[in-house]
Amino acid sequence: MRFQQGVDTLAQQKVLDPISQTIQDLVKGIYRSGGVAGRQVGNAMYGTWLGHPFHPSTTDVVVGSWTGGFVLDVLNAVTGSGLFARCADAAVAIGTLGALAAVPSGLTDFQHPSGEARRVGLVHGLLNIGGTLLQMLSLLQRARGERGSARTLSSMAFGGLLVSAYLGGDIIDKYQVGVNRAAGETVPADFVAVMREADLPQERLHQVDVNGSPVLLVRRGDRIYAMHATCTHMGGPLAQGTIAGDAVQCPWHGSRFAFDDGHVIGGPASYPERCLATRVRNGMIEVGPGAGLGRCRHEPVSTRQAQAEAERQMAVAPALR
């Protein structure tokens, strides 16, 4: 309880803002200057290829290995067993390798939070970087046979890791960074009529409400696509975004979700957007449950209906000019 109060106090410290802003700008600048390669590296670090944030996956390796290393170091100090020493060395080395992936992926994620989340994230990151440096020094001492100082350095890193892991939990649970912001949106149990088919123009993002959840509709040729309209990254309104190729691009940080099945084409989002099935009945667009990623059926609008709509738009267009 007291520790959490300390974290809450830390989160209020606006004095941390200039440094966190500087780091954010620096990381953004590095990715921007990398062009296409920078975007590919960014997507790898976000975890768009994994369908899950990459950073927490890497930190699991660090926490598990460094915890094991700490226990084995203690056993080595108590028993003097060389076996425990060798196992501790291996655990520290594996955890440090994991940290070499965790640090850049954490810095990549750090580009987007603001306010309290960013302040807590700054301290979380500094502790992780400091711990990694301490463990690297510890590995050096282990190679030299300086077990006493190696254990001390690793113990310091482990202490920092415990605090850092707590802060990481706060960043996710309290500030909702790295969670799927669209997870709470509902999927209708059956098809629901949402709007007149004739009122949906080609190539325009349109938002409708389906049982209290915002759903994005877009008509492309003879298909009408539907997906949840809340960006999985940080909740951006996809209906206010833009069409980028075969995807919608979020207006906040530029994540792109494929119309066809909702998969992430470009980060920072890592979770896909849930697509919904569509069909047209009695002149109304109906949205219904999809069976999951890539399994949503977007029933083609009949050629006759599509033709009638195209003719209607062509008749209206001159009057608007």
φ/ψ of residue 56, rounded to 5: -60, -30
The one-letter amino acid at 2: R
Give CA–CA dist 304/121, Å, rounded.
55
Q: Minimum Å distance from CB 266 to ligand FES?
A: 9
Q: Residues 251, 253, 257, CA angle at the centre, nearest 5°?
A: 70
Q: Minimum Å distance from CB 226 to ligand FES?
A: 18
Residue with structure tokens 């084995």? 72
Tell me: does residue 268 bind ligand FES (CB under 6 A): yes
Chain positions 14 to 73 lying near ligand FES, rule: CB under 6 A, are none
Tokens of 18: 């200039």
Q: Minimum Å distance from CB 196 to ligand FES?
A: 29
Please identify, using beta-carbon distances, which residue of 46 and 158 lies nearer to ligand FES: 46
Distances from the Cα of 196 to the Cα of 132, 201, 282, 284, 309, angstroms: 58, 11, 9, 4, 11
Run of H or E residues at 231: none
Q: Minimum Å distance from CB 234 to ligand FES?
A: 4
Give CA–CA dist 318/106, Å, rounded.
53
Chain positions 239 to 258 lying near ligand FES, rule: CB under 6 A, are 250, 252-255
Please identify, using beta-carbon distances, which residue of 214 and 235 lies nearer to ligand FES: 235
Please identify, using beta-carbon distances, which residue of 264 and 296 lies nearer to ligand FES: 264
Q: Minimum Å distance from CB 122 to ligand FES?
A: 19
Residue of the chain from 42, 95, 106, 236 that contacts ligand FES (CB under 6 A) = 236
Please identify, using beta-carbon distances, which residue of 233 and 298 lies nearer to ligand FES: 233
Please identify, using beta-carbon distances, which residue of 136 and 293 lies nearer to ligand FES: 293
Residue of the chain from 182, 269, 285, 296 that contacts ligand FES (CB under 6 A) = 269
DSSP codes, 168-194: HHHHHHTT-TTS-TTTT----SS-EEE
Count residues near ligand FES (CB under 6 A).
12
Q: Minimum Å distance from CB 278 to ligand FES?
A: 23
Q: Minimum Å distance from CB 175 to ligand FES?
A: 14
> DSSP H helical segments within the chain, as ranges?
2-11, 17-33, 35-46, 54-79, 82-109, 115-144, 147-173, 303-320
Chain positions 176 to 235 lying near ligand FES, rule: CB under 6 A, are 231, 233-235
β-pair partners for 288? 277
Give CA–CA dist 199/293, Å, rounded.
28
Binding interface with ligand FES (CB under 6 A):
231, 233-236, 250, 252-255, 268-269
